A = this chain, B = another copy of it.
Amino acid sequence: MILHGYWRSSASYRARIGLNLKGLAYATASHDLRKGEQKAEAYLAANPQGMVPALALADGEVLIQSPAILEWLEETHPQPPLLPADPLHRARVRGMAALIGCDIHPLNNLRVLTEIRTAFGADQGQVDAWAARWIIPGFEALERLVSRHGRGWCFGDRPTLADCYLIPQLYSARRFNVALDAFPRLLEVERAAEGRPAFQTAHPDRQPDADQA
């Protein structure tokens, strides 16, 4: 398999964690979002959306969208499970994942920040405030949900899909200088993840395309 991604893309980071938790080997293909490489014709033929990540399977089929990639991983490689068995519990995990994947991350990715700079002349302070505007209420809700449902991880006592979303979002929050002291349960999950090779090797700084600066 080949994971098309970018070191700093949160959604690519999610997919890397999922692949690692499943113990799957994969090659990577980097598309530098700052240079617009994800809009190159060859890549658009495989992923008409021209975004990352996409997962190219051994037979040449290409999966797009990290939520779909992660669910596919779970269905085709059930061990270790990244969703609990009970449908209600699965909905809890997917609810936390979607809270991040729909209501936090899409508002803070590079194309949106570029748009508020170009359309509205936002400066760096306004960009950081914009990011915080979506991260903080999302994390406040998540903190309550993890308090309710987590025992060291977002849900229960082992990593799930929700953790694949949370860890990259915490990394992103730091880049925008969002203070995280108000979210002790989320930081507890982060500490748990820091002890696991699946999360360690997925970290942006460990990717071959990471800035060396």
By a beta-carbon cutoff of 8 Å, the part of chain A in contact with chain B is 48-51, 57, 61, 63-69, 71-72, 75-76, 87-88, 90-95, 97-99, 101-103, 105-107, 112, 115-116, 119-120, 122, 126, 129-130, 133, 137-138, 140-141, 144-145
Contacts and interface: CB of A to CB of B under 8 A. Distances in A.
A162 B97 CA distance: 18
Contacts of A71: 90-91, 94
B90 A75 contact: yes
A63 to B, nearest CB: 5
Lowest 7 CB-CB distances: which A-B pairs, in order?
A68-B94, A120-B120, A65-B98, A49-B141, A68-B95, A48-B144, A72-B91
Contact of A98 (B66, B112, B130, B144): B66
Contacts of A102: 65, 67, 101-102, 105-106
Contacts of A50: 141
20 contacts: A48-B140, A48-B145, A49-B103, A49-B141, A51-B103, A57-B88, A63-B92, A65-B98, A66-B98, A67-B67, A71-B90, A75-B87, A98-B101, A106-B106, A115-B130, A115-B133, A116-B116, A116-B120, A119-B129, A120-B126
A3 to B, nearest CB: 14
Given A72-B90, A75-B87, A122-B120, A95 B64 contact: yes
A173 B92 CA distance: 30
Contacts of A115: 130, 133
A91 B116 contact: no
Contacts of A64: 95, 99
